[in-house]
Amino acid sequence: MTTLKLKLLIEKNSSKVVFAEARKEFVDFLFGHLQVPLGSIMGLLSQYDMVDSAGGSLSRVYESIKNLDPSFLEPNVNKESDFLRPKPTFSSNTDTPELLLNFVPPNTPIPIPTAVIVPATSKTVTVGSTSDITQQKPHTEKKETGYVRGVVTYMVMDDLMVKPMSSISGISLLNDLSIKDISSLQEKMVEVDLKKGLELVRASFYSTTVLTDVFIGNKRGRSFQDIWDSFDGFFTSNLVFETTALANLRIDWKVTPEAHVFKADLPGLKKEEVKVEVEEGRILQISGERSKEQLEKNDKWYRIERSGGKFLRRFQLPYDAIIGQIKASMEDGVLTVIVPIEEEMKRDLKAIQISRPLMSWAKRDVLQP
């Protein structure tokens, strides 16, 4: 399977991607998605069980068409080729980027460069002689692969904005982000295969910190996670994309003198179906999966509101949290996570005796003979 390489520049303190250094192949892969029909992208996301967390209400449109009986469609409409996995309109002037071919439905014709026969020079040939025969070799017109030129290195921002890279643009970006300490930056090489490519597409539907979300995993974009920063953003995170299986999942977070306490309502779930983990960067992750109930085809449903699938919430823990002593329990569908807090370091205090003002000493010395 084709994989692409990407060099990330990461700000260590925030665990956020500043930008990625990319070559032509990755930029071609990004730009090529604009030629892939949305139905084909949704079809692949559905195939890899990613559609619920990506498409929002659009995923409901996709599911509606998928479940619609063909008898409700016009005779000339094929829901598979017209909606669920429509054919892309790749340009015939360029070869399609290899990784992007994975987004093409099976049996889709891809433009192939045609061979041009160059006529041989006319010569007199003696019968029986082969030495003077001029071979006619097919000449293939060379076509460029992809969309952008390969002699340039490109800068891909966290929100997937692409621009040619230069030392000036890099320095200007660091200044714009108020990054003055170069030692706070680190490089990381990552690979993009089909699955990672789909994750990039999925994240691009809702996030403006796509590279951070996919490759770092902290989901620090304000639209995706809860940030510990004087509760800034705590009540404004977009829960729709984090909680895909439990539409009403809410998590309370309180702080006591002894611990941070998280409580989550998870009705209908067993403790074996819920995971509590701590990722690198002090990220508390609460996740799980509710099994989807099989619906009988002949059953008549008036309303279906219960959902199945995966859910995920992440929280940035503060530095006073004791990671190694986190405890979790579940009772009556309520998950409780307790994160102990370090006691403040007791300082040795030395009493300082308060004496008379220095001016009094000075006057006394002056007045004495």
Q: Can you give the pLDDT at residue 14?
A: 77
Of 62, 60, 96, give the one whose Cα is nearest residue 82.
62
Domains by residue range for the chain, with CATH: 4-36+88-108+148-216 (no CATH), 239-340 (2.60.40.790)
**Number of neighbouring beta carbons within 10 Å of residue 334:** 12
Q: Give the per-residue SS3 of 133-182.
A: CCCCCEEECCCCECCCCCCCCEEEECCCCEEECCHHHHHHHHHHCCCCCH
DSSP code of residue 234? T
Q: Can you give the pLDDT at residue 189?
A: 93
Q: Can you give the pLDDT at residue 209?
A: 87
Q: Can you give the pLDDT at residue 8?
A: 94
pLDDT along the chain (369 residues), means of 10: 86 85 91 84 80 64 86 88 77 61 59 43 42 46 72 91 83 74 86 89 85 74 34 35 49 89 88 88 83 67 64 82 91 92 58 60 50
Strand partners, 321: 341
Kindly report the pTM of this predicted structure. 0.50
Q: Can you give the pLDDT at residue 347?
A: 42
The residues, ordered by sequence, that sit 6+ positions from 57 with a Cβ below 8 Å of its Cβ are: none
